[in-house]
Structure 1
Amino acid sequence: MAHRIITQLVVVGSRVVSRAFVEAWKQASASSKYAKARVDSDHGSARNLASSGLTLSEACKILNVKPPEAGKAADLEQIAERFKKMFDANDPKAGGSFYLQSKILRAKDRIALEAREAEQAAAQRAETEKGWNPKVYKDR
């Protein structure tokens, strides 16, 4: 009699575990496909999202600044001013939240990262338009 109960418990337990494993596998596969689709659609933002944990629009909402428009640089002075004000207001020693302070810091870093990449792209475009003109030194 006891062997029946033990056998039943093992069979039912293995079914539950295998179903849970299959569902977890399906979720992981769907998540992987979703991440791959995001990387394929927009190469730069997926890498930036992974490094900071925020999208550019989320970072702009946190700091309450306008997102930089295409071809225009972000107003880094305004961003620094908003950052300092919000960071100081959420100081844990003054009764603020460390979590909010870290979110504000990540938002500033994310916008700065985007600004650096925009500057690099502009410099690369300028160099491409100007053309490559190496300095040639002649022996006498």
Structure 2
Amino acid sequence: MAYRLITQVVLIGTRVLGRSFAEAYKQAAASSAYQRAQAQSGNGTTGRASLSSGMTLDEACKILNVKPPQKGEANMEEVMERFKRLFDNNDPKKGGSFYLQSKILRARERIEAEVRPHMEKAEQEAEVKEGWNPKLYKDKK
């Protein structure tokens, strides 16, 4: 009689675990598909940056209180000034919050990640326009 009870408990437990794992997998797949769709829709987030920091460009701009980059152009001096001021004001040694400091840091990194490819492209175009001038060093004897 006891073996029947144990067998039933094992079978029911196995079914419950199997269903819960299947449901968790479905939710993970749906979440992943949603994340990919958001990254591809072009709503201001690039796949690489939003997946690595977990923060959208809009959220980052709201945290630092700056305008979103237009066509990859942003006032990085203003971003850095706001970052430094907010980061220093939230120093835990001065009674601030480490959590807020980390959010401010992630916001700056997110904006930089959005602007960086455009800045690199502009630098390459400027280099092509000027021509390549390698720095030559002469050995001293």
What range describes the TM-score normalised by the shorter chain of this pair? 0.7 to 0.9
Letter in 2 for 1:90: N
Compute the displacement of 1:94 (Å). Answer: 0.8
Q: Write out per-residue CA displacement over residues 23-79 of structure 1, whole angstroms, 9 at most, x where no aligned residue.
A: 01211221232233345444x7011112322221111011011111126x2111211
Consecutive unaligned residues in structure 1, runs of 5 or more: 135-140
Match of 2:13 in 1: 13
1:86 paired with 2:86, answer yes
1:69 paired with 2:63, answer no
Letter in 2 for 1:9: V
In the alignment, the residues of structure 2 paired with residue 38 and residue 126 of structure 1 have an alpha-carbon distance, to the nearest angstrom, of 33
Secondary structure of the corresponding residue to residue 46 of structure 2: helix
1:30 paired with 2:30, answer yes
Match of 1:121 in 2: 121
In the alignment, the residues of structure 2 paired with residue 38 and residue 121 of structure 1 have an alpha-carbon distance, to the nearest angstrom, of 25
Moved >4 Å (runs of 4+): 123-128
The TM-score, its normalising length taken from structure 1, stands at 0.78
Q: Name the % identity.
A: 58
In the alignment, the residues of structure 1 paired with residue 37 and residue 115 of structure 2 have an alpha-carbon distance, to the nearest angstrom, of 25
Label 1:40 to 1:116 Cα distance change in 2 as closer, same or farther (>3 A).
Answer: closer
Number of residue equivalences: 130
Consecutive unaligned residues in structure 2, runs of 5 or more: 133-141
